[in-house]
């Protein structure tokens, strides 16, 4: 059994809609500090909408409406007025690598510069540390001035992780991070995430149930915008489920 530690995130009655069409309905759950929390479910189940709500994307997505409470470290996200300050605490890695049109170095140094880091030695230290944590340093240390867009797909995805880590977040959101990378790179990134959970809380959205099994301490199963079940990942995959739809999905009967 893997029990959640101190609550990092609490969702209470979270609902999300787009132009009046529901995408997520009345979801309540707890995400523990320093755990990898998996979110699984077929396409259209509301997984990405949950991540968007966690990152206050309704401020930028036309027609997106969020109801209910999202509590981060005891504070309701709706009470944050400075979204930049909030996003410094929340790193996001999207399904496809989205690099800035900058060098490898400047991709990682971008966020630290925004928060006022100017000394080259300090920036160098941040860039190297984040690239090492993303298991990329050894591959790019001799071409830091090259465009990040010239890296391979797997390297670009790890660069987005390094860039997210450069914000010094305490919550990291990953949305289908392995969709555009090869299996070997996927396993390398998974090893990185196992190490990172000792420093940050990770919310992992994945369509790959075996990836959730390998990585997640606890897992939530969403279906058609409904939270069907949440529990220890080990228990769910051992068949100790409360809802037969969970068993059916994990065993590949639909989705």
pLDDT, average across residues 229-237: 97
The answer on pLDDT for 247 being more than 50 is yes
SS3 126: helix
Given this model, what pLDDT does residue 98 score? 67
**Residue 31: phi, psi to the nearest 5?**
-115, 120
pLDDT tens across 148-178, in order? 999 988 888 889 999 999 988 999 999 988 8
pLDDT tens across 186-205, in order? 888 899 899 889 989 999 99
**Tokens describing residue 6:** 């101190």
3-state DSSP helix/strand/coil percent for the chain, to nearest 5?
40, 25, 35
Structurally, at CATH architecture level, domain 7-98+171-250 sits in: 3-Layer(aba) Sandwich (3.40)
Alpha-carbon gap, residue 212 to 219, rounded angstroms: 7
**Tokens describing residue 63:** 């027609």
The answer on pLDDT for 20 being more than 60 is yes
The answer on pLDDT for 218 being more than 60 is yes
Percent of the chain past pLDDT 70, that is, above it, reads 96
Percent of the chain past pLDDT 90, that is, above it, reads 69
């Amino acid at each position: 059994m893997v029990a959640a530690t101190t609550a990092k995130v609490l969702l209470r009655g979270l609902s999300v809609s787009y132009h009046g069409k529901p995408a997520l309905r009345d979801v309540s759950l707890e995400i523990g500090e320093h755990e990898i929390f998996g979110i699984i479910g077929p396409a259209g189940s509301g997984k990405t909408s949950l991540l968007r709500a966690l990152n206050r994307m309704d401020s930028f997505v036309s027609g997106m409406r969020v109801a209910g409470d999202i509590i981060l470290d005891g504070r309701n996200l709706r009470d944050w007025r400075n979204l930049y300050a909030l996003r410094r605490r929340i790193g996001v890695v999207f399904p496809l690598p989205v690099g800035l049109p900058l060098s490898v170095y400047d991709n990682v140094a971008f966020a630290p510069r925004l928060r006022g880091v100017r000394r080259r030695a300090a920036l160098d230290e941040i860039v190297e540390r984040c690239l090492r944590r993303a298991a990329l340093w050894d591959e790019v240390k001799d071409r830091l001035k090259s465009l990040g867009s010239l890296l391979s797909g797997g390297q670009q995805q790890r660069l987005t992780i390094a860039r997210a880590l450069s914000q010094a977040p305490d919550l990291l959101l990953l949305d289908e991070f392995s969709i555009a990378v090869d299996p070997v790179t996927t396993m390398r990134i998974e090893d990185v995430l196992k190490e990172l959970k000792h420093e940050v809380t990770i919310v992992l959205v994945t369509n790959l149930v075996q990836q959730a099994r390998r990585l997640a301490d606890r897992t939530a199963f969403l279906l058609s915008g409904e939270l069907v079940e949440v529990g220890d990942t080990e228990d769910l995959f051992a068949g100790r489920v409360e809802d037969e739809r969970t068993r059916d999905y994990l065993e590949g009967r639909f989705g």
